[in-house]
Chain A
Amino acid sequence: MDRSIIARRLRRVVAFSLAASLPYVAFVTLLIVSPATMGLRPFGGSVSLAIYLAFFLFAWPIFIAAIYLRGIGAGARS
C-alpha cells in the first residue's frame, strides 16, 4: 500500500481516537461521576470548576479539528 495512504489512515486513526476518547471521558465525568466536585472553586472565587471546564470543552473541538486537518493535509501532500 502507498505510504501516503498509510500515513493518512494512521493520522485518521490517531485523531479519531483522541476525538473519541478525551471529550467523552471529560463530558461523562462532568455530567455524572461527581457533581459534588463541580462545586470546587480552583482559584478561590465564586466560579466553580465546572464553569472553567466548560471553557475547555468549548475550545477542544477546535483544537482537535485543526490537528486532524493538518494530518489529512500532510497525508495528501506526502
Chain B
Amino acid sequence: MNLAIAFFLLFVVATFGLAIIASRRAGKASEFYAAGHNIGGVQNGLAIAGDFVSAASFLGVTGVMYGAGFEGLLLPIGVLTGWPLMLMIFADRMRNLGRYTFIDVLAYRLQGNGIRISAALTALCINTMYAVVQLVGAGQLLSLLLGVGYVPSLIVVTVLMAVYVIMGGMLVTTWIQMIKATLLLLGGAAMAAMILSRFGFSLDQLVASAVAIHPKGEAILKPGLSYFSDPLSSVSLSIALVFGALGMPHVVMRFFTAPTAKEARSAVFWATVFAGLFYVMLIFIGYGAIAMVMADPAIGAGGMPAGGTNMVVMHLTRLVGGEAFFGFMAAVSFATILAVVAGLAISGAATLSHDLARIVAPKLVATEKDEIRVSRFGAVLVSAVALALAILFEKENIAFLGSLALGTAAAANVPVLFLALYWQGLTPRGATWGILTGLFLSIVLIAMGPVVMIGSLGLKESLISIVNPTLFAMIGTIVVAWVLSVTDRSAAADAARAGFAAQELASERV
C-alpha cells in the first residue's frame, strides 16, 4: 500500500472517530444544526475559512493559474474582498436575528410562506451547485490517488460525507473543518517554502522561470487570458466573487454557531486572516506549478497533466515533496472537500427540514426528533442530486464552477438580505419575487451561456457569450424587489414595515 492511500485511510478512520464522538451530542436540533451555538471566534474563524479554502481554492485556482497565470489570483482576491463587507453588514446582525438558517433572518419581519419557500428553493440550488464543485474535485482527486474511476470515486466521497453528517451534524462538520483548515494552512506554507527553495527563495527567479516555460509567455503576468478577457465579463464575475460569500447559505449558517454577536464578528475577522494567509501562498504555488509541472517532461510537457487542470497542484506536491508529501496533501485535500460538502449537506438539510417541510409537510416535522430525521434524509437527498450533476460537469475547472455558485448567491440572496436588514420598505412580496427573479435569471443565463452549452453539452456555440451573468441577475433582483415592495399595499406589507424598528433594535445587540 502506498503512502498516499495510507494517509487517506488514516484520515477516514480519524474523522469517523470524531463523528462517533459528535453523534452523542447531535440529538437536539440546536446541536445538530448549530453545534449548540457554542463555537468560539477563533475556532469558528478557522471553520469559516475552511469553507472557502476549499477544493475550488487549492485545486481550482492553481489550475486556472497553470493555464492563465495571474488571472487565477483574481478569483481568491475577489472572494477575500467581500469578507470585510460580511463583517460589517451581515455577521452580527445575522447572528442576532437568525436561529439555524439565513431564512430565519428574512422571516424575522417578513411573514408568510412565500418568502420561506422561495428562499429555501434558492438555498437548495446554491448548495447543490457548490457541492457539485467540491465533488468534481473529489472525484478527480480520488481517481488520481486510488487509481479507481471517476464515478466510483464520487460514490465513495458521497457515502462518507453522508455518514459523517447523519451521525455528527454541524459539530463534527465544524471539527473536521477546523482540523483540515489547520492542516491545509501548514501544508500550503510548507509547499510554498519548498517551491521557493528550488528558486533560491527568489520570487523573481520563480516568475522568470514560469514566464520562460509557459506558452503564453509574459501574458501570464497580467489579466486577460481567460475569464477576465472583456470588461463586461470581468465586472460580472467580480460582483459574483465579491458578494457571493455573503449569500452562501452554508457560510452564513456558521454565524448561528457563535454564542454572541461579538464572537460572530471575531469569527469573520479570524476567517479573513486565515484565508488571506492561505491565498498569499497561492501566488507561489500557482507560479510554482507553471515553473515545475509544465517543465517536467513526464507530467506536463506537451499538454495537460493527468487529471486535468484541477489536479495540477497534486502533481506539484509530488515534485516538491516526494511520495510522502503527495500522500499527506492528497489526504488534506480530500479532507477539505469532505468538510465543505458536509457543511453544504447540513445547510441543505436544515433548509429542507427547518424551512420547507414545516410548510409543505408539517406532520413530518411535528417534533424535534422528527425534524432531525427529515434533516438526515435531506442531507442524503442533496448529496445524491449533487453526485448526479458532478458526473455531468467532470471536465470543468472547479474554481470557475465555484464562481457560478457564488454568482447565484450574490444575485439572489445578497440583495434581498441586505434590503431586509437595512430597508424598511421591503415587503414579503418584494422579497419573495426578488429572490425568485435572481435565481431564475442566474440559472437560465448560465444554461444559455458557454459553460453549459459548449463546455458540458458539447455544442459549437452558446446562445449568449457572457459566462457569468451575476451582474444582470443581481440588477433584476433589486429592481423586482424594489418595484413590488413600493407598490405593495397589503396588510402583510404594512406589518413588515411596522416591524422594522423592532428588528433593527434586535439586530444591533453588541
Q: Which residues of A contact B (CB under 8 A)?
A: 12, 15-16, 19-20, 23-24, 27-28, 30-32, 35-36, 38-39, 45-48, 50-51, 54-55, 57-59, 61-62, 64-66, 68-69, 72, 76
Contact = CB atoms under 8 A, between A and B. Distances in A.
Contacts of A32: 231, 234-235
Contacts of B151: none
A44 to B, nearest CB: 9
Nearest to A52: B203
B33 interface: no
Interface string B63-85: 00000001001101110110111
B152 to A, nearest CB: 38
B221 A51 contact: yes
Contact of A16 (B70, B76, B89, B276): B89
Contacts of A50: 70, 221-223
Given A59-B276, A61-B276, A69-B265, A31 B84 contact: no
Q: Main SS of chain B's interface residues?
A: helix
Given A50-B221, A76-B510, A55 B283 contact: yes
B207 A55 contact: no
B85 A20 contact: yes
B280 interface: yes
A20 B84 CA distance: 9
A39 B221 contact: yes
5 contacts: A16-B88, A16-B89, A30-B223, A55-B280, A57-B81
A24 to B, nearest CB: 7
A19 B276 contact: no
B77 A28 contact: no
Contacts of A15: 84, 88
Give the size category of B's interface with A: 35 or more
B204 A45 contact: yes
Contact of B80 (A12, A45, A58): A58
B231 A46 contact: no
B341 interface: no
Contacts of A45: 204, 207-208
Contacts of B223: 30-31, 35, 38, 50
Interface string B235-246: 100100010000
Contacts of B178: none
Interface string B81-110: 101110111000000000000000000000
Given A16-B88, A50-B70, A72-B265, 14 more contacts: A23-B81, A27-B77, A27-B78, A45-B207, A47-B204, A57-B80, A58-B76, A58-B80, A59-B276, A59-B280, A65-B268, A65-B269, A69-B266, A76-B510
Given A16-B89, A24-B81, A65-B269, A48 B70 contact: yes
A46 B223 CA distance: 16
Interface of B: 70, 73-74, 76-78, 80-81, 83-85, 87-89, 203-205, 207-208, 211, 218, 221-224, 228, 231, 234-235, 238, 242, 262, 265-266, 268-269, 272-273, 276, 279-280, 283, 510
Contacts of A51: 70, 73, 203, 207, 221, 283
Contacts of B266: 69
Nearest to B77: A57
Contacts of B231: 32
A62 B221 contact: no
Interface centre among A20, A51, A59 (most CB of B within 10 A): A51
Contacts of B221: 38-39, 47-48, 50-51
B89 A58 contact: no
A58 to B, nearest CB: 5
Contacts of B84: 15, 19, 23, 61, 64-65, 68
A62 to B, nearest CB: 5
Given A19-B88, A28-B238, A55-B280, A38 B80 contact: no
B238 A65 contact: no
Contacts of B83: 61, 65
A36 B221 CA distance: 10
B81 A27 contact: yes
